[in-house]
Structure 1
């Protein structure tokens, strides 16, 4: 007998807020399947508020209220059995972040967990990467967001080390990143990958997904360092409006794509990686999987 449930994850990032609804399929004797059913993205750029003004503005708070009401209705319509909302860099750095979370709970009944960088990296690392991560390969996982970049080294099929850096696309376009942060990221990557003969990268985040779609690369095949370099030079040669009109990018993607590509390229260079795999998984996927695992653990306790 096939058991079908839906779970949801709300990812409140620095560049956008996302709702992922996933269908989980369970059949005795088979591996559980996770299928993305719906993904809604709202470009509320909280990072622009927080990194410049240190607070979430009233205007963006009201936009968040609308988004959460909409997400709640969508989850109700999909008959979601469990959900979790996690906020990352922007809300955890906002002076009024906790206050905003409480107001949103009162207004929309959606409880927001403000997680730190290590929790974020751990949730991302818990995503199902077994199709890529084998016992005899080494990967540097690079998740680029608006406010931070999470890095994880996988070796021998296991997580070796993770770290979060305040290096994000919204920070960069607002000139909020000191040069020493780049040095810290470079030193960390080199220190934690130098002992391995070969390292490949795994890219996560909306920007690398956008680059992957643009490349036309066959699903499962990686982006090469050569392609990433050429793409970087190409997008830099276009103006913001040309990237929107000629490259068909969304307005809130067309400005952050350049700093994002620079971060991915830099990570590849410092790890001496020739390839970047793009499995299209991230924080929201990790949230869904953790919710499912918690529910299964509770069922075992009851038994």
Structure 2
């Protein structure tokens, strides 16, 4: 048996996450991926970028401190390799490249700013095969603070995917137009019109929280009817009530409503009545990507640098 440790840093528009995972390798067996640690800090970069076009000095400082702590945590865990990916907010920030240079200098962490297509590819490399049945069709919806990644799975394979600039933080700041919504609607309807028995697969912190709040067993889907009822219920509560009565974190209590709206819209436009919620996301995809790419290099005899 061989146990390897990998680190994944997901720099999103609403929060920054560090996932440390163990990969257990045994001869003649599929590798097993086990979460060792997950740390999330609510540095809302999207609030800066989508309103002012760049990351503020305050959040640059917060982000730098978070990266320094993540570097130390990876060292303590004995992480072999890591990858840090920044998504929508950093893509749009005028000072994104300067922030990347600062983090490299101050925290010794290399950040890769990835586009929507690359983000969707990494997410799709996760354990979706445990959810997807070849005879069924799926619309995969990953909702973030700055963007939503959509992927169509048919006959067990990716049919098409696209990233849209519709996210929870953008919606909170009323930055999404009717034309933006219509573009997503047209894309979904066009790519799902010939698909039957289609279900939704949802990923992201908000849909995971909704699934947990429902009391639904792990692996069992949410229904469209439940999600719609929950959306109405959440809207009936004040921000403070969602924190005090539902126990939501302050940085979750506001974005959960626009996130639910996105999932519901995707269900309506695709005709999906069920929403499967596997606990996967960009960080999980990064771990898989690191492991399989490093394994290929090892097989070719290429030297791999540790973190």
Structure 1 counterpart SS, 2:130: coil
Match of 1:234 in 2: 233
Match of 1:100 in 2: 99
**1:134 Cα shift?**
2.2
| TM value normalised by structure 1 | 0.99
Structure 1 residue 273 corresponds to structure 2 residue 272:
yes
Match of 1:147 in 2: 146
Match of 1:31 in 2: 30
Match of 2:305 in 1: none
Match of 2:62 in 1: 63
Q: Mean Cα displacement is larger for which, 242-251 or 131-140?
A: 131-140
Structure 2 counterpart SS, 1:162: strand
Structure 2 counterpart SS, 1:35: strand
**1:71 Cα shift?**
0.5
Query: Can you give the 5+ residue segments of structure 1 that lack an aligned partner in the other structure?
Result: none
Query: Can you give the 5+ residue segments of structure 2 that lack an aligned partner in the other structure?
Result: 303-307
**Alignment partners' CA distance in 2, 1:135 and 1:173:** 37
**Alignment partners' CA distance in 2, 1:279 and 1:36:** 14
- Segments ≥4 residues shifted beyond 2 Å: none
The question of whether the paired residues in 1 share the 8 Å contact of 2:202 and 2:277 is answered with: yes
Match of 1:207 in 2: 206
Aligned ranges for residues 126-275 of structure 1 at < 5 Å?
126-275=125-274
**Alignment partners' CA distance in 1, 2:301 and 2:120:** 31
**Alignment partners' CA distance in 1, 2:274 and 2:37:** 29
**Alignment partners' CA distance in 1, 2:75 and 2:170:** 35
Deviations 1:63-105 (CA, angstroms, capped at 9, x unpaired): 0111001101110111010000000000010000011101110
Match of 1:7 in 2: 6
The question of whether the paired residues in 1 share the 8 Å contact of 2:136 and 2:196 is answered with: no
| TM value normalised by structure 2 | 0.97
The question of whether the paired residues in 1 share the 8 Å contact of 2:49 and 2:92 is answered with: yes
Structure 2 counterpart SS, 1:91: helix
Structure 1 counterpart SS, 2:128: coil
Deviations 1:94-129 (CA, angstroms, capped at 9, x unpaired): 000011101110111100000011111111111121
**Alignment partners' CA distance in 2, 1:236 and 1:60:** 29
**1:270 Cα shift?**
0.8
Q: What is the CA RMSD across the aligned residues, in angstroms? A: 0.8
Structure 1 counterpart SS, 2:129: coil
Aligned residues: 302
Structure 1 residue 53 corresponds to structure 2 residue 34:
no
**Alignment partners' CA distance in 2, 1:230 and 1:134:** 28
Structure 2 counterpart SS, 1:152: strand
Structure 2 counterpart SS, 1:164: strand
